[in-house]
Amino acid sequence: MTYAMKPLFDAPPDLDGKVILITGGTGSFGQAFTRRLLSAHKPAKVIVFSRDEQKHVVMEQKLRDPRVRYFVGDVRDRERLMRAFDGVDIVVHAAAMKHVHVAEYNPIEAIRTNVDGAANVIDAALERRVGRVIALSTDKAASPVNLYGATKLCMEKLFVAANSYAGGRKTRFDLVRYGNVVGSNGSVVPLFLEQRKTGKLTITDASMTRFWIGMDRAIDLVLLALKEGLGGEVFIPRIPACTVEVLAEALAPGKPREIIGIRPGEKLHETLITPDESRTVAEYDQFYVIKPSFPSWGGPVRTTGAPVAQNFSFSSGSAYALSVDETRALLDELGFQAS
């Protein structure tokens, strides 16, 4: 494998003794992040906030750790968030409606969760004087063509502007934006693994490209934002991409494929940084930071990192393109038994 990623930081943030709450905490990211906190850090408490009581029960049975608290609630419910955020030091906002086609057919529900829910998280964090808030965004928020991406773009704007509302409070808001997490809920990888048993894979478009990131890397990006975020910044990893055809060949070599066409709201290529955003981008070896355009709250200003070229963009169609062998090696490394 010729593609390799270096660590994002020399040392993670100091989370010892902290009370950390994760919205959407029973989802793929929330469960993985909780496990990382328990194994690599010494938090005083990890609060898993989610509306799915059954997932709470299953997660509790798996972890069996007295440091974890399970708080049933919905980000749409501002008063419930107020209660949950009491005494919390750090909030990681991962709750969202994330399936593109579901959001297309249920737009009001997506807005209530992804936009109104984000506003509620901000209000509760300010009211309860939470120290740090990190929100999870997506490549689909950059020049969105579907409702899911549009709601996540709104969420990004809300979280950046929230720094202006902090006033004398210590609360600081930052974001991370990344591509498809391999194997997470809704990922095509588990679908292809299941379909290869039947002998035929369904492909939307052979030339479609997608960014790929492992769950550990996604968690590292959140920890990086917690450690280095100055307020109103968006952290973006330098990650590779591949075509759907390459992914299919890596997972099921030689298996027949059926082209089913692009689904409602899908792009042929995804973007993590748009040309218009390039004016405020700071480039580092393994990541980028989009600095706030209007830091009216008067906080510290990022002075490190190199500027990118004018009209620079970071797209899955122009990012490092993994070969079939590289894709297979990456999937094997992440535990998805491609070979």
Catalytic annotation, residues: 140
Alpha carbon 130 to chain centroid, angstroms: 21
Adjacent-strand bridge partners of 237: 287
Using alpha carbons, select from 279, 203, 216 the residue that is nearest to residue 244: 203
Cα separation of 250 and 252, whole Å?
6
d(CA 74, CA 304): 38
If phi > 0 it is left, if psi is from -120 to 50 it is alpha, else beta; for residue 98 that is alpha
Tokens for 149?
Answer: 């991406």
Hey, what are 76's tokens?
């749409």
- Name the DSSP letter for residue 129: T
Could you give the dihedral angle defined by the CA atoms of residues 115, 121, 124 and 126, in that order, rounded to the nearest 10 degrees?
Answer: -90
How far apart CA 121 and CA 74 sit, in angstroms, is: 10
Largest distance between two CA atoms of the chain: 61
Report phi then psi at 88, rounded to 5. Answer: -90, 140
Task: Tell which residue, 75, 83, 76, 17, has the closest CA to residue 46.
Answer: 17
- CB contact at 8 A, 89 and 129: no
Would you call 307 helix, strand, or coil by DSSP? Answer: strand
Q: For residue 80, what are the CA distances in angstroms to 96, 173, 266?
A: 17, 20, 34
DSSP 297: T
Q: Judge contact between 9 and 223, C-beta under 8 A.
A: yes
> Both tokens of residue 212?
């790929």
